[in-house]
């Protein structure tokens, strides 16, 4: 979650900020900052938000959606590439290979049989 220390809502660190705004705001909420795939599923299942936005993991995984679907490991973040002036760190993270996709798909199919 965002670093709320030294802000007027410092007491709402962690998920408390989500609980706080869910109670007082009844429109659609997009949750963001430091939320893992697993935590995102928990938050949505608990009705605490409508969507979750992923920033760094999306940058580091050009096939992020596919990786979520396949429960695939994510690429390690390279923060030194964030906010840089060049495409390095934005366009050079690897996607899953076809072999990885096939083997992860088989695992998922195995789980559902
Ligand atoms: C390199 C980089 C570029 C970003 N550019 C934008 C942007 O252009 N607009 C925006 O609203 N947020 C931008 N963000 C913020 C992300 O959308 C997101 O709020 C932030 O990374 C926290 O979410 P996360 O923990 O999933 O990364 C950027 C973040 C990073 C790391």
User: Does 84 sit in the ligand 1 pocket, CB within 6 Å?
Assistant: no
Say yes or no to pLDDT of 43 above 80: yes
> Is the residue at 2 inside a domain?
no
pTM of the model: 0.89
Residue 17 class from Cβ within 10 Å (0-12 exposed, 13-18 middle, 19+ buried)?
A: middle
The percentage of the chain sitting over the pLDDT mark of 90, rounded to a whole number, equals 88
Atom of ligand 1 nearest to the CA of 81: 1
- pLDDT tens-digit profile of 74-99? 999 999 999 999 999 999 999 999 99
> Is the residue at 7 inside a domain?
no
Q: How far apart are the CA of 106 and the centre of ligand 1, in A?
A: 33
> Is the residue at 5 inside a domain?
no
Q: How many domains does the chain have?
A: 1
Rg from Cα positions in the chain: 17
d(CA 51, CA 102): 28
Length of the chain, in residues: 113
The confidence band for 111, taking pLDDT boundaries of 50, 70 and 90, is: confident
> Is the residue at 8 inside a domain?
no
User: Mean of the pLDDT values across residues 108-112?
Assistant: 84
> Is the residue at 9 inside a domain?
no
Which residues are CB-neighbours of 12 under 8 A, at least 6 positions away?
4, 20
Q: Range of 71's domain? A: 16-112
> Is the residue at 64 inside a domain?
yes
């Amino acid at each position: 979650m965002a670093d709320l220390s030294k802000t007027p809502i410092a007491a709402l660190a962690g998920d408390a900020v989500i609980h706080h705004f869910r109670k007082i705001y009844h429109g659609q909420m997009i949750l963001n900052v430091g939320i893992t795939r697993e935590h995102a599923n928990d938050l949505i299942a608990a009705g605490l938000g409508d969507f979750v936005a992923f920033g760094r993991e999306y940058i580091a995984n050009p096939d992020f959606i596919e990786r979520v679907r396949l429960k695939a490991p994510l690429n390690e973040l390279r923060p030194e590439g964030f906010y840089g002036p060049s495409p390095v760190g934005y366009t050079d993270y690897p996607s899953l290979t076809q072999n990885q996709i096939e083997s992860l798909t088989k695992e998922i199919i195995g789980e559902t049989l």
